[in-house]
Structure 1
Amino acid sequence: MIFPKIPLNEKERLEALLAYQILDTSPEKDFDDIVQLASEICKTPISTITLIDQDRQWFKSKIGLEFNENPREIAFCAHTINCPNQTMIVENALEDERFSQSSLVVNYPNIRYYAGVPLVNPEGFALGSLCVIDKEPRKLDDFQIMALEKLAKQVINLLELRRKNFQLIENHNSLLAKYRDLEQFASVVSHDIKSPLNNIMMLTKLLKENNKNQLDEDGNQMLDYIFTSSEELKKLVDAILNYYKHDNEIVDTSEKIRLNDFIYYVISILDTKNEFEFILPEKNHKIFSNKMALGQILFNLVGNSIKYNDKSKGIITVGFSEDQDHYMITVGDNGCGIDKSNFDKIFNTFETLGKTDRFHAKGTGIGLSTVQKMVQKLNGRIELHSEIGIGTEFKIFLKK
């Protein structure tokens, strides 16, 4: 008997094998199907997918064997990996000096015929073999050998899918951890910023009121600038807090909503001076959705229609239709419009177009990203139609 040689790249080969995280895993149907097919095509009672570990051969899948592993030193497949570019065939093990005295030949399972195709991964490392075994000397024809080699490639494809899946899981978990860290950082920083901002705004206001007769025009303008800048920063902080708050909201519960009643409630908050004309659906439709999520969607869309309207008579239209699977809600206006080149940008978090609204305030770039997030949580989609100087319409499709 001749013991198998250790490959020159053994250290790297073992590292590659471990990267698949497959050793000692439970049986899997995809692998079992391959060994079943290999046995049927080659008409052999035994077939295995073998992986060569440091001191053993381990069978990921097998037919016709009663054990799950063997010492590496007696493994036929340990010889196979030393010639990764060719199929190893032993027509009669009793006549082969490498195996004639092997316990696998003289005892159970009494191997006589062996054909093993190296399982070579994309980096060129032979991880093990797909093999068929018989208890009688024999030969395979060209078709059977070709089929066995193609099946071996499918084993590698399954291993690669497994490795990529683990990489995706690791990347997902890493990103999730980073996101949670960022979320916590944003929350802590935002809360820590709000308190001194409120103090700055309050003290600025008191300073101006208590010293209005002692300050000249420039001094008053400076205090106004400090107050306005602090107010803008506070709005951004509040927007960040709301963004992360709604990111964690669970919206899988639905309730009955009378659409017009709900819209009137949103309008009462946003248009307190009754400056805009609102056109609503003729019928007070009944829908079933998550009230919190829908409220965020309508609050931001109607709010934008008010803030970015440059017409002397602002008109905002809310429409509704439905089919068997979806509700469709539209929010349109006759405002300043959005250039088509910016359609993809406006839903990005913190992305602003550099415009000020009718109240001379800059946007935070969070409102529409929140809308998109809520729509996605409701298993819906959003469409945008807009023309500069004509107006903008958002179409929301919500799954029933």
Structure 2
Amino acid sequence: MKGASARTLPEQDIDRQAVLKAYGLLPGQEGTAFPPVGGTARADTARTALDNLVDLAAKLCRVPYSVVNVITADQQRQIAASGVEPGVCSREDSMCARVFLARETTVVRDASGDPRFANNPFVTGEIARVRYYASVPLVTASGFVLGSLCVFSDRPADPDPEQIAMLELLAQQAVELLELQHRTLQLNVALDEVRRSNAKLGEFAGRVSHDLRIPLTTILGYVELGEDDPDMPPEHPAAEYLQLIGSSGRRMLAMLEDVLDYSKVGGALHQQPVSLREAVSDAARDLGIPFGSGAMLDSDDARLQADPLQLRALLQNLLSNALNYRSPERPLEIRVTAASNYHGTAVLVADNGKGIRPEDRERVLEPLVRLHREGDGQGSGLGLATCRRIAQAHGGDLTLTETLGGGTTVVLTFPAVL
């Protein structure tokens, strides 16, 4: 019945295409988990979950054929099939397009005697000779009908209620699989937007820091000339003013460098196997911290898959924090340990310094947040935020906890490399 086929309004068809595109179900779409119709045959080991689902549907209903159909504005596309090769037909020729918008299960013992399907080319022999036909609409949580899960045979049949109940359950599972693909595509779009945003942030921060650094270094250069002027006696008020200007200017220059470093984190990672102990040793050497057994700082060894430069920057930040926030009551000790399992590697950087109160631990991981405690060293409030961004760029995370006996332990996670 080509002329009487169920069709939605044109405006609804446009909406249908938009929704199907969001689910990755339109032909030629990038990022879909399902291969295009007409592609090469797939090996059993590479079959998708939907392939397994339609196989199960056919076996449970004791019929030779089962398919998952997606109904577009003008087509029926089979994205998974059992007993037949996945194919495409016009929406006018589709049996499922006649009934899927009713949102009810359709069961027909012999389609040749049903007025809805008797003249359909899938029944008359023009395309196939379907007799038994059962179809369950694929309805999302929002109420949108993506298509159908249907089973069929070239012989009449009388399915029992249990078979239909199982078919409806499998249709729900098919919707869950398509919803998972939908969420995956949404996540990919969000990640692409984050990458573009980070790239723009890096470009902006680079331009701003460059534009600010030039006049700032010029000011600091004249301050140094003034401080070195032999005609400027130390007791002159201007000497104190120059010292204050120089101190403030150098702090501003350091903050510019921190902002620029923060904006660059998470860009192009060049990951490779890295020795944790060697990375800690290099960071300690840069900071002038004694390293090794019995020294202020010691470290376990572990093999991490990481960007060496970003890992080194992370460790330098953490060790610098330990130096800046040491306890005046005891000699500073820093211990770096590692534990690995099939999930990945956890790296713990523990110091015996002042520590951070539990209510402040999440807050200090935000950019530009400082605690301003008495005796704390100078900083921009970007160190821990930068470290967390580096960990997250590697697919892990950074959290803070307390060191036994006092101090702060930074917990870094690096996922296993498959």
Q: Amino acid of the residue matched to residue 134 of structure 2? A: A
Task: Point out where structure 1 has 5 or more consecutive residues left out of the alignment.
Answer: 272-277
Structure 1 residues 279 and 367: CA distance shift in structure 2, 3 A: farther
What residue is the counterpart of 2:42 in the other structure? none
Q: Amino acid of the residue matched to residue 37 of structure 1? A: L
2:294 to 270, 273, 280: 280
Distance of 2:413 and 2:161 partners within structure 1: 58
Secondary structure of 2:141 counterpart? coil
Distance of 1:352 and 1:130 partners within structure 2: 57
RMSD: 4.0
Q: Does 1:38 align with 2:38?
A: no
Distance of 1:301 and 1:50 partners within structure 2: 55
Q: Does 1:367 align with 2:387?
A: no
User: How does 1:27-66 map onto structure 2 within 5 Å?
Assistant: 29-65=48-84
User: How does 1:347-362 map onto structure 2 within 5 Å?
Assistant: 347-355=365-373, 362=378
What residue is the counterpart of 2:175 in the other structure? 156
Distance of 2:75 and 2:69 partners within structure 1: 10
Residue 349 of structure 1, CA deviation? 3.1
What residue is the counterpart of 2:249 in the other structure? 230
User: How does 1:257-296 map onto structure 2 within 5 Å?
Assistant: 265-266=285-286, 269=288, 280-281=294-295, 287=301, 296=313
Residue 162 of structure 1, CA deviation? 0.8
Secondary structure of 1:139 counterpart? coil
User: How does 1:293-308 map onto structure 2 within 5 Å?
Assistant: 296=313, 299-308=316-325
2:21 to 18, 23, 28: 18
Task: Point out where structure 2 has 5 or more consecutive residues left out of the alignment.
Answer: 28-33, 37-46
Structure 1 residues 314 and 193: CA distance shift in structure 2, 3 A: farther
Q: Is the 8 A contact 2:275 2:302 kept in 1?
A: yes
Q: Amino acid of the residue matched to residue 254 of structure 1? A: V
Structure 1 residues 314 and 242: CA distance shift in structure 2, 3 A: farther
Q: Is the 8 A contact 1:23 1:60 kept in 2?
A: no
Greater mean alpha carbon deviation, residues 129-138 or residues 234-243: 234-243
Q: Is the 8 A contact 1:80 1:117 kept in 2?
A: no
Structure 1 residues 348 and 152: CA distance shift in structure 2, 3 A: same
What residue is the counterpart of 2:30 in the other structure? none
Secondary structure of 1:128 counterpart? strand
What residue is the counterpart of 2:272 in the other structure? 252
Distance of 2:253 and 2:335 partners within structure 1: 34
Residue 128 of structure 1, CA deviation? 1.8
What residue is the counterpart of 2:123 in the other structure? 105
What CA deviation, in whole Å up to 9, does each residue of 1:185-227 have, x standing for no partner? 11221122111101111223435665747x963x554444332
Greater mean alpha carbon deviation, residues 342-351 or residues 143-152: 342-351
Q: Amino acid of the residue matched to residue 110 of structure 2? A: N
What CA deviation, in whole Å up to 9, does each residue of 1:44-89 have, x standing for no partner? 12211112222222111223335612222222111112412x1122
Secondary structure of 1:34 counterpart? helix
Distance of 2:173 and 2:187 partners within structure 1: 21
Residue 370 of structure 1, CA deviation? 4.2
Structure 1 residues 183 and 73: CA distance shift in structure 2, 3 A: same
TM-score by length of 1: 0.79
Greater mean alpha carbon deviation, residues 289-298 or residues 228-237: 289-298
Distance of 2:348 and 2:72 partners within structure 1: 60
Distance of 2:15 and 2:209 partners within structure 1: 48
What residue is the counterpart of 1:80 in the other structure? 99
Residue 236 of structure 1, CA deviation? 0.6
Secondary structure of 2:366 counterpart? coil
Secondary structure of 2:332 counterpart? strand
Q: Is the 8 A contact 1:251 1:293 kept in 2?
A: no
Distance of 1:259 and 1:76 partners within structure 2: 64
Q: Is the 8 A contact 2:289 2:297 kept in 1?
A: no
What residue is the counterpart of 2:4 in the other structure? 3
Give the share of equivalent positions with the same residue, in percent.
Answer: 25
Q: Is the 8 A contact 1:89 1:115 kept in 2?
A: yes
Distance of 2:110 and 2:167 partners within structure 1: 19
What CA deviation, in whole Å up to 9, does each residue of 1:258-290 have, x standing for no partner? 7997687356x379xxxxxx9934998884668
1:130 to 149, 172, 185: 149
What residue is the counterpart of 1:316 in the other structure? 332
What residue is the counterpart of 1:339 in the other structure? 357
Q: Is the 8 A contact 1:51 1:57 kept in 2?
A: yes
What residue is the counterpart of 2:216 in the other structure? 197
TM-score by length of 2: 0.76
